Structure 1
Amino acid sequence: MRVADFDYYLPDELIAQEPAPVRDESRLMVLHKNGGEPEHRLFKDIVEYLEPRDLLVVNDTKVIPARLWGKKEGTGTTIEVLLLTRRDEHTWETLVRPGRRVPPGTNIIFGDAMTGTVMAVVDEGCRLIKFHHQGVFEELLDRLGVMPLPPYIKKQPADPGRYQTVYARDPGSAAAPTAGLHFTPELLQKIREKGISIVPVLLHVGLGTFRPVKVDEVTSHQMHAEYYSVPEETARVINETKARGGRVIAVGTTTTRCLETAARDDGNVNSGAGWTEIFIYPGYNFKAIDGLVTNFHLPRSTLLMMVSALVDRERLLDAYARAVRMRYRFFSFGDAMLII
């Protein structure tokens, strides 16, 4: 299976540069796993496709202002640092640009209250940086950092909160779980009023989710580990939903990675926390989820490969071609797809 099999044509003007004016009025393509033509709705119509015995599972991670700019001590060279994973109280795994300018031992100065020392080079050229600061790190990050938007989005949104889900709770992500950006508190309430439960899991989005695939063969790609957690109550509700024949619908590929990591062979889900390197691509047998809410993903990405495991690849790429023809908006701030 070649990475090139997951390529498709996308005009640049269809890459959404800002969110829809109203979260739940973005467009929604509904793709039925059992066949038939895709349906074209608004996201707020999603409630019509959910049944009272269904369960929505969301990722309640919160994006931190993880992009920092500092100056290299001694030369004043501008260094960009993207925080990926917290290793301990003071040390983070990071992406650094330009990486060739920051070997181990380099000190980087961030404003007047924080510095960082590059301790080591680790997997994928990432740097471990130990931060030294006065005051609370999170408060400094709020002051010095910015929201880490993907490179295809050229400017920060007028409201930074639009790059957070309305249910974001646990800070730690370097990117948003974007399928959840379409929900409003009012829409979530309508879903609950229909008798559909909503439960959280946690996966802090890091390099594993958004790292480009640089190999030719799909199976040669190695996912980067990301931290996940499944609460006991969430596992209980999922397992009860399955026992009564309800559908478990994951909101986003990060939720899917979390649930499939925690799933047993019988489809039930274990509670607990840890690190996942799960890589889902066609041929994978889903254990935990029955449906998926997701955005339109980048060509050749692991996210597109994951969705192609839930729906036949050719049928999915045909749906993407339709979305292009119908001028859907793509990627993080773009429109959504429901697969049931």
Structure 2
Amino acid sequence: MRTRSPFWRDARALAVLAQVLVVVIVALALAGAMATLRRSFIRQNIHLDWSVLRQPAGFDLSALQWTVDLDTLRIKRYEPTDSNAEAIIAGLINTIQVAVMGIVLATLLGVVAGVARLSQNWLVGRMALGYVEALRNTPLLVQLFFWYFGIFLQLPDGSSSHPPLRLLGSLVTLTNSGLAVGGTRVERFGRLVAEGGYQLTPELAALVIGLAVYTSAFIAEIVRGGIQTVSRGQMEAARSLGLTYRQGLRLIVLPQAFRIIIPPLGNQFLNLTKNSSLALGIGYAELLTAANTVSSQSFRSLEAFTVVTVAYLMVSLVISAGLNLIRRRLATS
């Protein structure tokens, strides 16, 4: 008859016991921290008052466009008579807008720069290296100031003496009033402006481009590293089948590299989303700006910034979940 070994010699039992102990210790630490925080609140006569979120906001920030009516749960235009919670939601919508546009643009620029880093052309490779090093080694806030004050505010004003810049066959119009994609050009007060289409204010355009360009430098190195982890034999096999270098890169190498680089790529997406809070420096109202305004007017900083913390956490978890889903699908394809 086989005797059962004592639990202190069972590796599985010890592993379970260790996990239980860790959970108990963390729970006790959290309970102690909450008790200390509660005593501190009582001692300083601080009381959480979440009713501040239902009070009228009473402020109007030009960048706050859309929010959610908490009574009907419908999208509507933001107005100063809306509640503080709806003002924070308007800022959250702006943050999500910046994150989506920035992630798409940063990924495109990063992939191009990462591939260029491995180019056999000496000039292309050195230019890509300079692009990456210059952007990675300068502060993001300085770059945002450069794009806003040094680029967008210095663009033509659209007058007859300073006509707007037109790119891509007049598809994109650039003035110091912002960037417009599509739409029609009409004259307003002696200036040509875009009417209709998709328009970005100079603050929003500078923020999106600044975040995307800065993050693309890090993504470029991630892409370069991912490509180099793929065996050289893959490209050699592609060339032996008659594929060009670009075809082999697009059809063979990059799909394999993307499976490897998704985790570090996700980190950069999260960094870009959180870095959008620097919009406060160039006057664009996003989640942090809206919450800061609510805090300064209601003097309820703890409640406002608790909501901001939870909002950033939820957005980050959604991005992480989406990338994990993509990674699993790529792994099974």
Smaller-chain TM-score bracket: under 0.3
Task: State the TM-score, normalizing by the size of structure 2.
Answer: 0.23
- Larger fraction in helix: 2
